[in-house]
Amino acid sequence: MNQNIKPTESELEILNILWSKGACTVRDVHEVLEQNKDAGYTTTLKLMQIMHDKNLLTRDASARSHVYSANVSQEKTQGQLVKKLIDNVFNGSAAQLVMQALGNHKTDKKELEAIKIYLKEMENKQQ
Amino acid sequence: MNQNIKPTESELEILNILWSKGACTVRDVHEVLEQNKDAGYTTTLKLMQIMHDKNLLTRDASARSHVYSANVSQEKTQGQLVKKLIDNVFNGSAAQLVMQALGNHKTDKKELEAIKIYLKEMENKQQ
DNA sequence: GTTTGTATACGAAATCATTCGTACAAAGAA
DNA sequence: TTCTTTGTACGAATGATTTCGTATACAAAC
């Protein structure tokens, strides 16, 4: 059914807003977008209409201002994009990606702890 | 100088080949590409010429068959793409990306060990 | 030397992502 | 009611990516 999610960069920006705020009107989304880039209102509208056509969004059109929601989960989208990165850029090795990510980005103690716990859990399940 | 590397998907396929095989002619690269997709020889040629224009590749044009090399390092490219993914899709949290990567992709014992060692090293350096 | 095969260069079509202008409908204020 | 604001719809320009056809040069085989 919902095979391959391949949002563009602009689409991803919109999805991020909907994931964090829940259902929104175009204006809601546009107001957030405006803070980081300048594009007109109709640009945002058009993008969201296209995303609706592609089934990335659902919408409630009963009111004058339509209310849009993400129709793909954040987790699943993250998963697909990570998989693509691993396949295309890390020769299929998740571990290589992990070390790149850890090496070049600040990660605080709490997060490192979480990762260690995660690793232990995996080991227990594995054997 | 070489600020932002943003290769397209096709360009990444070509870079991967050059990273793994070293300097290549267009034909060399094309023969590898052919195994996974069908596009004509001149398509590959044009792509590599464009990449040369963009400074993603260097070339030795002294012989009739020009010999191309990657002009961006694999590490740096990986780093940029990982950073972009973290920023755009994981709200800036490297740890979240790491756990996604570990959770959904098979990682064998050897690789897990490598990650654990890596984590320990980081801790030692950190405090 | 002519033919055949293999190069590069280059123009241009096809597709997609992004952007915006404009038309027009619906509410609400004057 | 009329004017202004705020919505949707939609066509179309722009720019980037991908693709290929064709022109032309060189080299090797015949």
| Nearest residue to D9 via alpha carbon and C1' | A46
Q: Give the separation between CA B43 and CA A93, rounded to whole angstroms.
A: 29
Task: Quote the pLDDT of residue A1.
Answer: 46
Q: How many CA atoms lie within 13 A of B77 on its CB side?
A: 22
* Residues B78 and B111 placed together within one structural domain of the fold: no
Distance A60 CA to C25 C1' (A): 18
Q: Tell me which of A37, A53, A70 is where a domain ends.
A: A70
* Residues A63 and A90 placed together within one structural domain of the fold: no
* Residues A44 and A17 placed together within one structural domain of the fold: yes
Q: Give the separation between CA A63 and CA A25, rounded to whole angstroms.
A: 10
pLDDT exceeds cutoff 70 at A127:
no
- Per the domain annotation, does A103 fall within a domain? yes
Digit-coded pLDDT (tens) for A78-120: 999 999 999 999 999 999 999 999 988 778 888 888 898 888 8
* Residues A55 and A16 placed together within one structural domain of the fold: yes
Q: Give the separation between CA A20 and CA A26, rounded to whole angstroms.
A: 15
Average pLDDT of every residue of chain B: 92
Is the CB of A123 less than 8 angstroms away from the CB of B112?
Answer: yes
Q: Which residues of B touch A79 (CB under 8 A)?
A: 100, 104
* Residues B83 and B100 placed together within one structural domain of the fold: no
Burial class (CB in 10 A: 0-12, 13-18, 19+), A126: exposed
* Residues A85 and A119 placed together within one structural domain of the fold: yes
* Residues B98 and B67 placed together within one structural domain of the fold: no
Count of domains for chain A: 2
ipTM value, please give it: 0.88
Q: How many CA atoms lie within 13 A of A20 on its CB side?
A: 11
The DSSP bridge partners found for residue B60 are B67
* C-beta of residue A30 within 8 angstroms of C-beta of residue A68: no
The DSSP bridge partners found for residue B68 are B24, B59
Q: Give the separation between CA B120 and CA A116, rounded to whole angstroms.
A: 10
Residue B98: domain span: 93-127
Average pLDDT of every residue of chain A: 92
* Residues B24 and B50 placed together within one structural domain of the fold: yes
Q: How many CA atoms lie within 13 A of A103 on its CB side?
A: 15
- Per the domain annotation, does A42 fall within a domain? yes
* Residues B83 and B97 placed together within one structural domain of the fold: no
Specify the length of chain B in residues. 127
Number of Cβ pairs < 8 A linking chain A and chain B:
121
Q: How far is B20 from chain A (nearest CA, A)?
A: 10
Q: Give the separation between CA B20 and CA B8, rounded to whole angstroms.
A: 18
Nearest to B98 by CA among A20, A82, A76, A36: A82
